[in-house]
Homo-oligomer: A and B are copies of this chain.
């Protein structure tokens, strides 16, 4: 890194729409998780058009149509799969059903864009890999806590520019607010996949991304159900220690203990430690400061600096995904990375020591 760039950490420009109206058509099918709204919004801002929406529950469809009135209500998933104009199906199904949906989507000759976790078992992973192989279609994953968070995008730019030298650790904290009115499947491990598979997958995605690793060893993982004694198949805490194939370390912690008084759903943090500096993200809130998202702290040999980057960076993932689908490239995220993060999340869950609450 030159001394010029050392003092000049301006984010790259905001991404623009990557295609014209009608060039990239998608449908939203299965709306069990609210992430479908963010997934759709991201695609639309990048130039895509939503043509269809489908869910067995009319209330979810109505909520979707309120935000995206241009979407036509499909009478079945099949009505979408039969429409040759649809390039991609976006889904936020119950986690354990995401893979099966993806297999149907790819069999219909369309790319699939699923909420995380993209799958919940190693058997599903094998089926998904095989289907990608035989159909040539994409099984893209909405690891939103990186790809749809501007401070996380910017951190990637900083690491790429060498602002902190070699990355030797990624430490991610992903507390979430449980809130009230979660559906039953949220509490059933068979369906949500376990806390490390579910919200842990965001963190493993980040660990692989910022360390630049292709693979990793799970050193130790733990899960607990400390306080939800009436939900015997729930997990409210989990953590994982990982070592990347390039020698970098990772530690991730996730939980459902966001306190009521916090001004947002979770005090998500990311600490990236390099040999020449470190970056901290206070992604969604900066406790005790004026409430704003996307707070970046950079310390290296030249600067000790706070950088608010909300609305300065954008989220290029969505435009890249559209172009990847149109051009059959892999710039948004490689299939290998998407599956590796899922694999490690499932394995961390399987290997986890179950703590006595």
A112 to chain B, nearest CB (A): 35
Which of A178-234 touch B at CB < 8 Å?
A: 219-220, 222, 224, 226-227
- List 12 extra interface pairs beyond A261-B299, A287-B297, A288-B306, CB under 8 A: A166-B226, A169-B239, A171-B173, A171-B253, A222-B241, A224-B249, A239-B249, A241-B251, A243-B353, A243-B355, A257-B278, A260-B301
Q: Which of B169, B224, B267 contacts A237 (CB 8 A)?
A: B169
Instruction: Provide the bound-state CA to CA distance between A288 and B219, in Å.
Output: 34
Question: Nearest B residue to A285 by beta-carbon distance?
Answer: B304
Instruction: Provide the bound-state CA to CA distance between A296 and B286, in Å.
Output: 13
Question: Nearest B residue to A169 by beta-carbon distance?
Answer: B253
- The answer to whether B168 touches A267 (Cβ under 8 A) is no
Which of A22-44 touch B at CB < 8 Å?
A: none
Say yes or no: is A276 at the interface (Cβ < 8 Å to chain B). yes
* Chain B residues whose C-beta falls within 8 Å of the C-beta of A302 in the assembled complex: 260-261
A322 to chain B, nearest CB (A): 36
Say yes or no: is A262 at the interface (Cβ < 8 Å to chain B). yes
- The answer to whether B259 touches A301 (Cβ under 8 A) is yes
A279 to chain B, nearest CB (A): 11
A174 to chain B, nearest CB (A): 12
Which of A288-302 touch B at CB < 8 Å?
A: 288, 297, 299-302
* Chain B residues whose C-beta falls within 8 Å of the C-beta of A357 in the assembled complex: 247
Question: Nearest B residue to A219 by beta-carbon distance?
Answer: B220
How many residues of chain A get a CB closer than 8 Å to chain B's CBs?
Answer: 51
Say yes or no: is A280 at the interface (Cβ < 8 Å to chain B). yes
Say yes or no: is A161 at the interface (Cβ < 8 Å to chain B). no
Instruction: Provide the bound-state CA to CA distance between A356 and B219, in Å.
Output: 15
Say yes or no: is A275 at the interface (Cβ < 8 Å to chain B). yes
- The answer to whether B261 touches A304 (Cβ under 8 A) is yes
Which of A308-357 touch B at CB < 8 Å?
A: 353, 355-357
* Chain B residues whose C-beta falls within 8 Å of the C-beta of A175 in the assembled complex: 273, 278
Central interface residue in A299, A356, A357, by most chain B CB within 10 Å? A299
Say yes or no: is A277 at the interface (Cβ < 8 Å to chain B). yes
Say yes or no: is A305 at the interface (Cβ < 8 Å to chain B). yes
* Chain B residues whose C-beta falls within 8 Å of the C-beta of A274 in the assembled complex: 257
- The answer to whether A253 touches B253 (Cβ under 8 A) is no
Q: Which of B241, B273, B304 contacts A262 (CB 8 A)?
A: B304
Instruction: Provide the bound-state CA to CA distance between A288 and B251, in Å.
Output: 25
A293 to chain B, nearest CB (A): 15
Instruction: Provide the bound-state CA to CA distance between A353 and B274, in Å.
Output: 20
